[in-house]
Amino acid sequence: MMNDKVCKIIKVLQKIIKKFTFLTKSLNWIRDFWNQSCFKVVMKSKWLQIIWKMQDILKVWNEYLKHNNHKNKIIWQMKCTHFRSQMHELSKAFKLIWCFVKWARIESQLSKKLSQFSSLKWSNIDHMIMMFKKKIKILQEKFFFSSS
């Protein structure tokens, strides 16, 4: 009899959880600062963009722009508050602050990575060229002819 009551309570709790928790698929861009208000603002912005694409009216476009700026402001505020709370937690923990300082020092001394550019397909070569030095050689031949 006690087991039946526990099972009923569990089922009721599961129904409540399903009803009141918002389901989102886990994405790479969702971070610790992301919350329900960020999600709602982004979804409204997407909805206004869809409406504008369907109707193509200046009034709807202005409303979309206004809301998009509001969305950016809300997300920026959430990021700032999350960063400040993380810094506050780091300042409380003595060992963690030194890990953060070490990371910042190492990151500041690392050289900036060169941007990558896509593979090249040359007219007389059938395959794509991936090697950086070969790409440079081909571009030099194409744009800086040798006079010999």
| Pick from 70, 21, 26: nearest CA to 48 | 70
Rounded to the nearest 10 degrees, the angle between the axes of helix 58-92 and helix 94-109 is 120
pLDDT tens, per residue, the chain with 148 residues: 667 777 788 888 777 777 666 555 555 455 778 888 888 999 999 999 888 888 878 898 899 999 999 999 999 999 899 888 887 877 777 666 777 677 777 776 767 666 666 777 666 666 777 777 877 787 777 777 665 5
Task: Determine the pLDDT at residue 71.
Answer: 94
Handedness of CA 64, 66, 67, 71 (dihedral sign): positive
Task: Determine the pLDDT at residue 30.
Answer: 57
Each residue's pLDDT tens digit, 19-55: 666 555 555 455 778 888 888 999 999 999 888 888 8
